[in-house]
């Protein structure tokens, strides 16, 4: 298994994972925006030989990172790959002290107990519930991981 930064040739495989793993998946246009038009955005993909089996999509703004999405194909779950993607994401953060990422934040559906458990296992804490955050009216749990001691 290798984890590398995504390039445009990975688009279709990521799009397929996107459609199979999320309640309200990104459209092609939204996913293309993540790839091409948002300069702060990064996507890491996990390859099992030539097949993409997971990805993490995130954005760094000043001293904070935000996870937009993370997904692992069902047959590859519960084997540590999601955690490995988070670990590689942290390794990709800027090394310069002034640019250091201090917090990682994300929103996750309140009903997605597997993902909430996954994030907790990886050092994320619940901060607040964002009411009716999603299009279908579902609440989001806003979570944070602090990387540096203040
Ligand atoms: C969330 C997700 C990325 C985790 O990937 P993963 O490769 O299974 O994660 P890991 O193997 O590193 O971590 C496993 C931990 O996640 C949680 N977890 C993941 N799947 C679970 C399940 N089916 N049941 C219970 N807990 C689960 C548990 O805390 C588990 O720890 P444990 O094995 O000690 O019980 C994956 O389940 C997924 O793609 N889900 C669908 C997309 C999604 O909901 N993404 C998050 C919102 S953006």
pLDDT tens for residues 99-122?
899 999 999 999 999 999 999 999
Which pLDDT band, with edges at 50, 70 and 90, does 149 fall under? low
Under DSSP, the state recorded for 18 is H
Determine the atom of ligand 1 nearest the C-alpha atom of 120.
29
Domain boundaries, position 48: 2-146
The pLDDT of 14-34, averaged and rounded, is 94
3-state secondary structure of 131: coil
Q: Is 78 in the pocket of ligand 1 (CB under 6 A)?
A: yes
The domain tally of the chain equals: 1
**pLDDT beyond 70 at 150:** no
CATH number for the domain that contains residue 66: 3.40.630.30
pLDDT in tens, 32-88: 998 888 888 999 999 999 999 999 999 999 899 999 999 999 999 999 999 999 999
Which pLDDT band, with edges at 50, 70 and 90, does 148 fall under? confident
Q: Is 122 in the pocket of ligand 1 (CB under 6 A)?
A: no
Parallel/antiparallel/unpaired status of strands 64-72 and 125-130: unpaired
Q: How many CA atoms lie within 13 A of 5 on its CB side?
A: 9
In the reported structure, the alpha carbon of residue 97 is separated from the centroid of ligand 1 by a whole-number distance in angstroms of 32
* pLDDT recorded at residue 63: 92
Q: Is 30 in the pocket of ligand 1 (CB under 6 A)?
A: no
In the reported structure, the alpha carbon of residue 91 is separated from the centroid of ligand 1 by a whole-number distance in angstroms of 20
Its pTM stands at 0.96
* pLDDT recorded at residue 86: 98
């Amino acid at each position: 298994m290798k984890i590398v930064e995504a390039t445009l040739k990975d688009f279709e495989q990521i799009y397929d994972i996107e459609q199979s793993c999320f309640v309200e998946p990104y459209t092609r246009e939204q996913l293309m925006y993540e790839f091409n038009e948002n300069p702060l955005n990064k996507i890491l993909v996990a390859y099992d030989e030539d097949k993409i089996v997971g990805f993490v999509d995130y954005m760094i703004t000043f001293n904070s990172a935000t996870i937009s999405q993370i997904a692992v194909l069902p047959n590859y779950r519960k084997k540590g790959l999601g955690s490995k993607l988070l670990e590689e994401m942290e390794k990709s953060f800027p090394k310069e002290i002034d640019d250091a990422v201090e917090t990682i934040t994300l929103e996750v559906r309140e009903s997605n107990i597997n993902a909430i458990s996954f994030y907790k296992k990886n050092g994320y804490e619940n901060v607040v519930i964002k009411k009716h955050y999603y299009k279908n009216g579902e609440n989001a749990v806003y979570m944070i991981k602090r990387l540096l001691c203040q």
